[in-house]
Amino acid sequence: MAERCAVIGVGQTHHKAKREDVSIAGLVREAAKMALTDADLTWSDIDAVVIGKAPDMFEGNMMPEIYLAPALGAVGKPMFRVHTAGSVGGSTALVAAHLITSGIHKRVLTVAYEKQSDSDAMWALSVPQPFAAPLLAGAGGYFAPHIRAYMRRSGAPDHIGRMVAVKDRKNAMRNPYAHLHLADIDMKMVEDSMMLWDPLRYLEACPSSDGAAAMVLASEDAVSGHYPPAWVHGMAMRSEPTMFAGRDQINPQAGRDCSADVYAQAGVTDPRKQFDCAEVYVPFSWYEPMWLENLGFCDLGDGWKLTESGATAFDGDIPWNASGGVLSSNPIGASGMLRFLEVAMQVRGQAGEHQLDGAKLALGQAYGGGSQFFAMWVVGSERP
């Protein structure tokens, strides 16, 4: 990277099933103002705005950067809109970060959101298209067969998915912004919940949330704010085709390549040992063990053993999704950015009740499409 980039401000909304108290503009502005306050800056200090969200049909507002420009203080500035499916929150942060590392801007505001209650994502994902196989049952229907394939391949026992569902919801009890606060969550409660897409039960799936996330990114000479900066140590994106017989959708090559790239930039050779924590896009419980393997935190086939051992729990040696993760809050377009934002909060020491002691280096990951789009960054408390 030509110039260093730091996260100097973070903000997020209280994620809920329905944020009927705010418009879309009000939602994104809430997160953005919080990030500016954290960075000790005002709207006029920002050089450019980069916004991301998942398909526009989720709200019925086409190319919403056009409508949101004034709400985000972008009038007279460059405003940019990213859309890379579920990974978009991560990709958006990366596009914003490159405006800093390329030396073009000093301070960039990046925002991602979804207001799922304005529409119905399941419907929007399931519109029949000419010449394309229909996705009739939303994302869960697409991913459930991959989960079954993972279970068969790895020999993982049934209860692993339920463990992840319980762990992430317990973590969410420490996060005041999380959508789901299920105080009584336990294995039995998950097991008793309705079967949605075999083997995924209702409580093993992410909620539908309204919410937004925002970060202020800055060059080294523009660092400000109430907490020390989170320095970007590496960033990468990778994509692979949806329909290709040579793909392994259980352990996608694009995910392996993306992590290899970002680890090389950050000097990471042993992710489990070197990272203090990770925020990884786990919208369905079983994606924790699957991504543990894909991201090289363990050998192939051992992801479920890591989860079962408690290593990824809040008090484990490599906590995953201490914030509660996507399983506890899923404003789709923002879900990837929340992963990137949460690891920045950890290395800045501002995560409050879900702060992990001594977090210095962390991985944020987002994925999207048919497990084919990946965005990752590594942030650390030390300047690279």
Partner 1 sequence: MSAAGGIIRPVSIASFAQSQNVRKDDEHNEAESLLPVIAEVFGNIGITKDDVDFICSGSTDYLIGGPFSFVMALDAVGVWPPRAESHVEMDGAWALYEAWVLLQEGEIDAALVYSFGRSSLGDLNEILTLQLDPYYEAPLWPDIVSLSALQARALIDSGKATEADFAAVASRSRRDALNNPKAQVRKDVAPEVLLRDDYVVAPLRRHALPPITDGAAAIVLAAGDKAQQWSDRPVWITGFDHRIETHSLGARDLTVSPSTVKAAEMAGVGSANVDIAEIHAPFAHQELIVKEALGLDDSVVINPSGGSLAANPLMSAGLIRIGEAASRIRAGQADRAVAHATSGPCLQQNLVCVLEGA
Which residues of this protein are in contact with partner 1, per CB under 8 A? Answer: 1-2, 23-24, 54-63, 65-70, 74-85, 91, 94-95, 98-99, 101-104, 118, 124-125, 127-132, 236-244, 246, 252-254, 257-258, 369-370, 372-373
CB of 169 to partner 1, least distance (A): 28
Closer of 237 and 250 to partner 1 (Cβ): 237
How far is the C-alpha of 352 from the C-alpha of 347, rounded, in Å?
12
Closer of 110 and 328 to partner 1 (Cβ): 110
DSSP 191: H
What would the two tokens of residue 259 be? Answer: 């992590």
Coil, strand or helix at 201: strand
Burial class (CB in 10 A: 0-12, 13-18, 19+), 153: middle
How far is the C-alpha of 88 from the C-alpha of 56, rounded, in Å?
12
The residues, any chain, with a CB within 8 Å of residue 327's CB and separated by 6 or more, are 164, 165, 168, 169, 172, 180, 204, 205, 206, 282, 283, 284, 285, 321
CB of 103 to partner 1, least distance (A): 4
Look at residues 91, 90, 108 and name the one whose alpha carbon lies nearest to residue 99: 108
The residues, any chain, with a CB within 8 Å of residue 294's CB and separated by 6 or more, are 251, 252, 255, 256, 259
Q: Which residue is associated with the tokens 């506890």?
A: 328
Closer of 127 and 300 to partner 1 (Cβ): 127
Closer of 125 and 185 to partner 1 (Cβ): 125
Closer of 138 and 161 to partner 1 (Cβ): 138
CB of 45 to partner 1, least distance (A): 17
CB of 121 to partner 1, least distance (A): 9
CB of 102 to partner 1, least distance (A): 4
Q: Any idea how long the chain is?
A: 384
CB of 186 to partner 1, least distance (A): 36
Closer of 93 and 343 to partner 1 (Cβ): 93
CB of 355 to partner 1, least distance (A): 32
Closer of 203 and 378 to partner 1 (Cβ): 378
